[in-house]
């Protein structure tokens, strides 16, 4: 296992990139801690697969260096990096048995047969594949095939990192949850460095210790699920993570007060020298309806999702969402919204600005 | 009981009529001829299975069948591996890919008798490029006189004409393999041979079954090209079943024996193709879920 260092990595698919816009992956400098579970989260086309392929060696970055445990592997081919990858669609060797599939990477590396058999047995036990070892891989279900793919990586004891490229895409919903849980416990037990690419926030937040959120080729925030929820560094993170996403309301900030359409609200901190379009961001969880205080809103509709209700409202032309408990009264008199002032973030040009207390 | 309405059968009628005229009626005509004899004047006599019996004891037929099987076996043994080999080395993308496809498809576009003519001239020791070159190298090459030379010429001609078909089908099979398989193989440090054996060959299997079946049927029915090049000679050395059949039916105008011959010829192809297909698909099933 290894620490993976990205030094000023950037990648453009076209030769001779000119400006920022040509780069599919904007410059990135980051240390991936050994033994940590990461998720690369972002919408389709945000560059997360590019980043994964740079780490696995399928793509050579246009700029920068990549190091495994301090050793430069920028030009090393995939085979030499000693990583494992689980692809979106299960890749198994159809005509081979499950046992031979698992043994394949070890046999190719010339390990003695006894050692191969022992490793295969061990990995099959970890993944719960023991019962199907002598079956052919072809007829198995998608989730079993994904386990085999994963097993082909885990069977190598010295594997540097295991990369996952949206591995649950073709798995049935009820198996998704089970596989994710299993992955998590495998990580806890064996401590492989795992990097998991996904566009599904639930997958990312439940799987990873640290989530790397990407947007338009840029890493916008790296943090624990809690950090992403509580202090999104970019409006994209606020919007993308959470269900529904963070409310973003255009505002004019004066010191520790924000002027919004329909009134002024206090902020917990003071802000100065903001440039670009300024917005405040507040999660629906930290907004509540009131009959007396707060800003007037027009309520459009109420969605009951079971454990709570989502109130869709309109604040001076900006649609916002408010979370209301199941037993909270809703009525024609409760048409004002109150934001929890500690939880209101200020964003200038999309990026979070830290205020002074 | 549910009401039954049989009017839907009318929808099948056009197909039945078409198949009747295109296959069933002509075939039945042949069946009709095969059990009768005639001395001209459109007078026919019932002859039972005499022609069939006669044919089964005919050395000429057995020899032609032997040559036919040998020819198909040689041609398949060369074309299938060669076609796969070419497909593996064709460009995957870019302008070269299109160029390769066009070049590969070219022999398939040439009419059969033109292929025969090309090789007939190509191999002539006096004016043919190949024949003359070989002759000036001091090789005694003459496909009209030497049995081996005749066979080599016809086999090479068939390989030239039809390997492309296998290559194109195999190429299509190869192109359908997602990149992830190759990436996974790289990560697993699979050798080139292992990639071929465990990824490419299994994925090509479906199209290869079709390719082999097509090539078997076609080579077993071959007529035009060897007829143009050697006319079945020297002697009877390249007289395949179809050439023999035409000699019998049109040359000697022996309608009855020729009809019996046709039917048995048809049954042999049908039987071998069926056996072949069954074996291939059973192999498939064995490897599937148990």
End-to-end CA distance of chain B: 40
- Token digits for B115? 């292929």
Closest residue in chain B to residue A92, using alpha carbons only: B181
CB contact under 8 A, B199 and A93: yes
Closest residue in chain B to residue A153, using alpha carbons only: B188
pLDDT(B162) > 90: yes
Asked if A229 is an interface residue toward chain B (Cβ–Cβ < 8 A), one would say no
**A87 to chain B: which residues are within 8 Å by CB?**
180, 183-184
* pLDDT recorded at residue B74: 95
- Residue A48 makes CB contacts below 8 A (sequence gap 6+) with A40, A41, A42, A197, A199, A214
Nearest to A288 by CA among A264, A319, A310: A310
Top residue of B177, B184, B191 to mutate, by most chain A CBs within 10 Å, is B184
- Token digits for A122? 């061990």
Question: What is the nearest CA distance from A57 to chain B, expressed in angstroms?
Answer: 10
Neighbours of A24 (CB within 10 A): 20
Domain ranges, ordered by start, for chain B = 67-284
Neighbours of B14 (CB within 10 A): 9
Tell me: the pLDDT tens digits for A28-37? 888 888 888 8
pLDDT(B290) > 80: no
Tell me the average pLDDT across A102-131: 88
* pLDDT recorded at residue A356: 79
**What is the Cα–Cα distance from A152 to A107, expressed in whole angstroms?**
11
What burial class does residue A64 get, using C-beta atoms within 10 Å of its C-beta: 0-12 exposed, 13-18 middle, 19+ buried?
Answer: middle
pLDDT(B288) > 50: no
Instruction: Return mean pLDDT, chain A.
Output: 87
**What is the Cα–Cα distance from B151 to B133, expressed in whole angstroms?**
19
Confidence at B289, pLDDT banded by 50, 70, 90: very low
Top residue of B178, B187, B195 to mutate, by most chain A CBs within 10 Å, is B187
Confidence at B284, pLDDT banded by 50, 70, 90: low
Asked if A236 is an interface residue toward chain B (Cβ–Cβ < 8 A), one would say no
- Count of alpha carbons within 13 Å of A241, Cβ hemisphere only? 33
**What is the Cα–Cα distance from A281 to A349, expressed in whole angstroms?**
12
CB contact under 8 A, B187 and A56: yes
- Pure H helices in A48-197: 48-56, 78-81, 98-108, 113-127, 142-154, 173-190
Nearest to A76 by CA among A90, A66, A85: A66
What DSSP string runs through A23-60? -SEEEEEEEE-TT-EEEEE--TTSSHHHHHHHHHTSS-
**What is the Cα–Cα distance from B185 to A277, expressed in whole angstroms?**
49
ipTM of the complex: 0.77
* pLDDT recorded at residue A9: 86
**B183 to chain A: which residues are within 8 Å by CB?**
56, 58, 78, 85, 87
CB contact under 8 A, A135 and B289: yes
Tell me: the pLDDT tens digits for B50-96? 888 888 888 888 888 899 999 999 999 999 999 999 999 888 777 88
Instruction: Please state whether beta strands A194-198 and B44-46 pair in parallel, antiparallel, or not at all (unpaired).
Output: unpaired
Question: What is the nearest CA distance from A252 to chain B, expressed in angstroms?
Answer: 50
**B178 to chain A: which residues are within 8 Å by CB?**
89, 91
* pLDDT recorded at residue B285: 62
CB contact under 8 A, A136 and B198: no
Asked if A87 is an interface residue toward chain B (Cβ–Cβ < 8 A), one would say yes
Tell me: the pLDDT tens digits for A143-199? 888 889 888 888 888 888 889 988 888 888 888 888 888 888 888 888 888 999 998
Asked if B186 is an interface residue toward chain A (Cβ–Cβ < 8 A), one would say yes
Tell me: the pLDDT tens digits for A65-91? 898 888 888 888 888 888 888 888 889
What DSSP string runs through chain B? -----GGGHHHHHHHHHHHIIIIIHHHHHHHHHHTEEE-STT-EEE-TTHHHHHHHT-HHHHHHHHHHHHHHHHHHHHHHHHHHHHHHHS-SSSHHHHHHHHHHHHHHHS-HHHHHHHHHHHT-TTT-HHHHHHHHTT----TTT-HHHHHHHHHHHHHHHHHHHHHHHHHHHHHTS-HHHHHHHHHTT--HHHHIIIIIHHHHHHHHHHHHHHHHHHHHT--HHHHHHTTT-STTTT--HHHHHHIIIIIS--HHHHHHHHHHHHHHHHHHHHHHHHHHHHHHHHHS--
Instruction: Return mean pLDDT, chain B.
Output: 86
Tell me: the pLDDT tens digits for B238-282? 888 888 888 888 888 888 888 888 898 888 888 988 888 888 777
Tell me the Cα Rg of chain B.
24
Angle at alpha carbon of residue A337, lines to A332 and A339, rounded to 5°: 160
Tell me: the pLDDT tens digits for B125-140? 888 898 889 888 888 8
- Residue B117 makes CB contacts below 8 A (sequence gap 6+) with B228
Tell me: the pLDDT tens digits for A201-249? 888 888 888 999 998 888 889 999 999 998 999 999 998 888 888 999 9
Top residue of A54, A59, A87 to mutate, by most chain B CBs within 10 Å, is A87
Share of chain B above pLDDT 70, in %: 97
- Pick one of 3.40.1380.20, 3.40.980.10, 1.10.3720.10, 3.40.190.10 as the CATH number of B67-284: 1.10.3720.10
pLDDT higher for A263 or B72? B72
CB contact under 8 A, A78 and B199: no
Asked if A136 is an interface residue toward chain B (Cβ–Cβ < 8 A), one would say yes
**What is the Cα–Cα distance from A260 to A104, expressed in whole angstroms?**
63
**What is the Cα–Cα distance from B64 to B66, expressed in whole angstroms?**
5
Closest residue in chain A to residue B196, using alpha carbons only: A93
**What is the Cα–Cα distance from B244 to B258, expressed in whole angstroms?**
9
**B184 to chain A: which residues are within 8 Å by CB?**
85, 87, 91, 149, 152
CB contact under 8 A, B187 and A83: yes
pLDDT higher for A44 or A221? A221
Q: Which of residues 98-117 of A touch B (CB under 8 A)?
A: 104-105, 108-109
pTM check: above 0.90: no
Q: Which of residues 166-185 of B touch A (CB under 8 A)?
A: 178, 180-181, 183-184
pLDDT higher for A18 or A280? A280
Tell me the Cα Rg of chain A.
24
Q: What structural domains and CATH numbers belong to chain A?
A: 4-240 (3.40.50.300), 247-353 (2.40.50.140)
Residue with tokens 């054996």: B197
Asked if A67 is an interface residue toward chain B (Cβ–Cβ < 8 A), one would say no
**What is the Cα–Cα distance from B16 to B18, expressed in whole angstroms?**
5
């Amino acid at each position: 296992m290894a620490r993976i260092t990205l030094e000023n990595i950037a990648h453009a698919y076209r030769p001779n990139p000119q400006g920022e816009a040509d780069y599919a992956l904007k410059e990135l400098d980051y240390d991936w801690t050994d033994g940590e579970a990461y998720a690369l989260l972002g919408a389709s086309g945000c560059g997360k697969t590019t980043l994964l392929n740079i780490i696995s060696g399928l793509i050579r970055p246009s700029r920068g260096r990549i190091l495994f445990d301090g050793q430069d592997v920028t030009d090393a081919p995939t085979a030499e990096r000693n990583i494992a990858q689980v692809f979106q669609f299960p890749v198994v060797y159809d005509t081979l048995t499950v046992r031979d599939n698992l043994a394949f990477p070890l046999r190719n590396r010339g390990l003695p047969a006894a050692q191969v058999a022992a490793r295969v047995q061990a990995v099959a036990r970890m993944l719960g594949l023991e019962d199907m070892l002598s079956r052919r891989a072809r007829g198995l279900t998608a989730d079993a095939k994904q386990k085999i793919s994963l097993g082909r990586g885990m069977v190598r004891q010295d594997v540097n990192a295991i990369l996952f490229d949206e591995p649950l895409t073709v798995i049935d919903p009820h198996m998704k949850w089970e596989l994710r849980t299993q992955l998590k416990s495998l990580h806890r037990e064996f401590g492989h460095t795992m990097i998991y690419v996904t566009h599904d926030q639930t997958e990312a937040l439940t799987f990873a210790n640290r989530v790397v959120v990407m947007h338009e080729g840029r890493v916008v925030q790296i943090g624990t699920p809690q950090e992403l929820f509580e202090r999104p560094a970019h409006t994209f993170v606020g919007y993308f993570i959470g269900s529904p996403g963070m409310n973003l309301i255009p505002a004019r900030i004066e010191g520790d007060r924000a002027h919004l359409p329909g009134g002024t609200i206090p902020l917990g901190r003071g802000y100065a020298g903001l440039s670009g379009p300024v917005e405040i961001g507040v999660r629906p969880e930290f907004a509540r309806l009131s009959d007396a205080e707060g800003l007037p809103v027009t309520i459009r509709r109420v969605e009951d999702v079971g454990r709570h209700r989502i109130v869709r409202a309109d604040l001076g032309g900006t649609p916002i969402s408010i979370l209301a408990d199941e037993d909270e009264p809703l009525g024609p008199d409760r048409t004002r919204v109150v934001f929890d002032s500690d939880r209101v973030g200020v964003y200038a040009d999309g990026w979070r600005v830290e205020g002074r207390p | 009981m549910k009401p039954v309405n049989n009017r839907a059968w009318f929808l099948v009628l056009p197909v039945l009529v078409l198949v009747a005229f295109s296959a069933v009626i002509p075939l039945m005509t042949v069946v009709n001829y095969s059990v009768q004899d005639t001395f001209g004047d459109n007078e026919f006599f019932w002859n039972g299975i005499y022609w069939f019996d006669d044919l089964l004891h005919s050395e000429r037929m057995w020899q032609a069948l032997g040559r036919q099987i040998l020819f198909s076996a040689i041609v398949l043994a060369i074309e299938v591996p060669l076609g796969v080999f070419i497909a593996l080395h064709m460009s995957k993308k870019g302008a070269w890919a299109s160029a390769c496809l066009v070049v590969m498809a070219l022999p398939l576009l040439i009419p059969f008798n033109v292929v025969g003519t090309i090789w007939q001239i190509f191999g002539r020791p006096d004016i043919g490029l190949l024949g003359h070159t070989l002759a000036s190298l001091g090789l005694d090459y003459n496909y009209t006189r030497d049995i081996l030379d005749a066979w080599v010429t016809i086999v090479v001609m068939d390989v030239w004409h039809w390997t492309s078909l296998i290559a194109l089908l195999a190429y299509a099979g190869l192109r359908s393999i997602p990149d992830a398989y190759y990436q996974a193989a790289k990560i697993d440090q699979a050798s080139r041979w292992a990639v071929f054996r465990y990824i490419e060959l299994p994925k090509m299997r479906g199209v290869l079954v079709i390719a082999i079946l097509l090539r078997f049927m076609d080579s077993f029915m071959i007529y035009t090209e060897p007829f143009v090049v050697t006319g079945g000679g020297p002697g009877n050395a390249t007289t395949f079943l179809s050439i023999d059949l035409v000699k019998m039916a049109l040359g000697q105008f022996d309608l009855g024996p020729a009809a019996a011959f046709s039917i048995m010829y048809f049954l042999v192809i049908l039987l071998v193709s069926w056996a072949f297909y069954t074996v291939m698909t059973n192999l498939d099933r064995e490897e599937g879920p148990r």
